Amino acid sequence: MPDEMSRPLIQERSDGGGSRRLEASMSEPSDPVIGILGTGDFSRSLARRLVASGYQVVVTSQMEVASQADLVFVAVFPEHHSTLVGLKPALAGKTLVDVSNGLRINQDGPSNAEQLADLFPESCVVKGFNTLSAWTLQVGPRDGNRQVFLCSDSSKAKKSVMQLCRRMGFIPVDMGLLSSSLEIENLPLYLFPSWRVPVLCTLFLFIFFYSYNFVRDVLHPVITGGKKAFYKMPIETVNVTLPSVALVMLALVYLPGLCAAFLQLRLGTKYNRFPAWLDRWLTRRKQFGLCSFLCAALHAIYSLCLPMRKSARYKVINEALKKFKDGVQDVWVDEDVWRMELYVSVGIMALGLLSLLAVASLPSVSNTINWREFSFVQSTLGYCALCMATLHTLLFGWGRAFEASRYRFYLPPTFTLVLILPMTVLLGRLALFVPCVALRLRQIRRGWERNRNIRFTLPENDCRNGLEDVSNV
């Protein structure tokens, strides 16, 4: 890849006093002179990027930086901030940009930036650039995340940093007052916070169903019949477990939406906030869906591997040997053939639909579709996928649920357990199609309320009349 940083953009200028400045030939007198305190990788990459963007940058002794620059980046470890207090008079009235990060997530505050602001009450502290790596600064914002989150109590300082940010090729995102700095400092420390619950949920379901299937499919034949069955553990048992997890997780994608609808119907308004757990669940639906898709895709691969295995080959040969010994000339069980042809075909369609949903949830795809299209994909196609997956399971289990021999150790077959939640969700969704229920829900979502007491405090009562909301959601 081309790299303009390798070109000699930077001219060093040394005046008599030993002070050194880096500048590009295109810097203008009206631009602020930028100073950088700190000499690590980040500082150097920042200096190069700033110079490449046409700014004068001062990187000499601390005092000279503080006195000559109009806008100073503080790129030292926060535990050394206190060593800078000597620069206080020189930095008074100037803008300080705190680029530091914490080592661990800080929930309580104060943030590094707030502590810096306490140390330099006469300077304007702006928090930002901490989400960028030295690497991104060095190669420029061409790939990787271009957003820079900024906050400050001084609107003027923030504006000048935003402009600088834009000129460096990044997209500044205004996060408000300096009280947001804690949040901004935590941003690069998160480890998939939105995935925690869905992944834990997937793991829990996997362990539960795996144990259940292990007892039924491995332990039971070994204990009751002394048959070889432990070899089933790596593939067959996993392959019965994965679709169970996938289907339950898919049902959990659509359950919170149903809960929300029934809650709105019960309260007769959409202006009551949902309980926090429901709110959080609603925002995690994408993650639940992708976990479901991953399990479904793995289930497909495991299933396709079944006939490849030595064990499958031995079984076919053994069956052929046995049938010949028994004098059987034609093996063919029509019910088994039909069942399998049908549930495999329906299963493939369910997987196809889930794949479309997964592709549509890629950020770059979901950004190009409008809300109506998003809703069509995630709601209409999504419910189709849920129906298909449920049908796949029903066809697989059909008849078997009522055979006594399937209740090993009195445990019902796995698929009967698995079907409870998706069937509930599908029935609940059907209930919302009943005309009077559907009509009421539509009214509520357009702003109708059973008890017209405004709970939201912002708007006056009088301006409600005749003016409903233009809700796109």
Which one of the spans 254-262, 343-351, 402-410, 414-422 is the region binding its own copies (CB under 8 A)?
343-351
Q: How far is residue 211's CA from residue 213's CA, in Å, rounded to a whole number?
A: 5
Q: Does residue number 430 form part of the binding site for its own copies (CB under 8 A)? A: no
Nearest to 71 by CA among 26, 22, 37: 37
Q: Does residue number 328 form part of the binding site for its own copies (CB under 8 A)? A: yes
Distant-in-sequence, close-in-space partners of 216: CB < 8 Å, separation ≥ 6: 408, 409, 411, 413, 414
What angle do helix axes 196-213 and 238-267 make, rounded to 10 degrees? 130
Q: Does residue number 460 form part of the binding site for its own copies (CB under 8 A)? A: yes
Q: Does residue number 245 form part of the binding site for its own copies (CB under 8 A)? A: no
Nearer to its own copies, 135 or 277 (CB): 135
Q: Which of 103, 404, 436, 467 binds its own copies (CB under 8 A)?
A: 467
CB of 342 to its own copies, least distance (A): 5
Nearest to 361 by CA among 377, 349, 380: 377
Q: Could you give the angle at the alpha carbon of 400 between the alpha carbons of 324 and 306, nearest 5°?
A: 55
| Sole residue written with tokens 């006093």 | 17
Extract the tokens encoding 215. 């007892």
User: Which residues, 149 to 178, sit near its own copies by CB under 8 A?
Assistant: 152-156, 158, 167-169, 173-177
Half-sphere exposure of 55 (CA within 13 A, CB side): 27
Q: How far is residue 213's CA from residue 217's CA, in Å, rounded to a whole number?
A: 6
Q: Does residue number 404 form part of the binding site for its own copies (CB under 8 A)? A: no
Tell me the three state secondary structure of residue 363.
Answer: helix
Which one of the spans 204-212, 383-391, 419-427, 451-459 is the region binding its own copies (CB under 8 A)?
451-459
CB of 436 to its own copies, least distance (A): 22
Nearer to its own copies, 24 or 215 (CB): 24
Q: How far is residue 161's CA from residue 128's CA, in Å, rounded to a whole number?
A: 9
Q: Which of 107, 108, 331, 410 binds its own copies (CB under 8 A)?
A: 331
Q: Does residue number 108 form part of the binding site for its own copies (CB under 8 A)? A: no
Q: Which of 35, 50, 53, 261 binds its own copies (CB under 8 A)?
A: 53
Q: Are strands 11-14 and 20-23 parallel, antiparallel or unpaired?
A: antiparallel
User: Which residues, 368 to 387, sit near its own copies by CB under 8 A?
Assistant: 368-373, 376
Q: Does residue number 275 form part of the binding site for its own copies (CB under 8 A)? A: no
**Total binding residues for its own copies by CB under 8 A?**
161
User: Which residues, 74 to 93, sit near its own copies by CB under 8 A?
Assistant: 75-77, 80, 83
Distant-in-sequence, close-in-space partners of 69: CB < 8 Å, separation ≥ 6: 32, 33, 34, 35, 58, 94
CB of 140 to its own copies, least distance (A): 7
Extract the tokens encoding 388. 């298909």
CB of 49 to its own copies, least distance (A): 10
What letters, b where the CB count within 10 A reaches 16 and e where it falls short, cover 284-299?
Answer: bbbbbbbbbbbbbbbb
Distant-in-sequence, close-in-space partners of 441: CB < 8 Å, separation ≥ 6: 261, 264, 265, 432
User: Which residues, 24 to 43, sit near its own copies by CB under 8 A?
Assistant: 24-28, 37-43
Q: Which of 121, 226, 362, 453 binds its own copies (CB under 8 A)?
A: 362
- Residue 147: how many other CB atoms lie within 10 Å: 13
Nearer to its own copies, 297 or 437 (CB): 297
Q: Which of 192, 402, 410, 433 binds its own copies (CB under 8 A)?
A: 192
Q: Does residue number 427 form part of the binding site for its own copies (CB under 8 A)? A: no
Q: Does residue number 210 form part of the binding site for its own copies (CB under 8 A)? A: no
Q: Does residue number 62 form part of the binding site for its own copies (CB under 8 A)? A: yes
Q: Which of 307, 404, 433, 451 binds its own copies (CB under 8 A)?
A: 307
Beta bridge partners of 125: 96
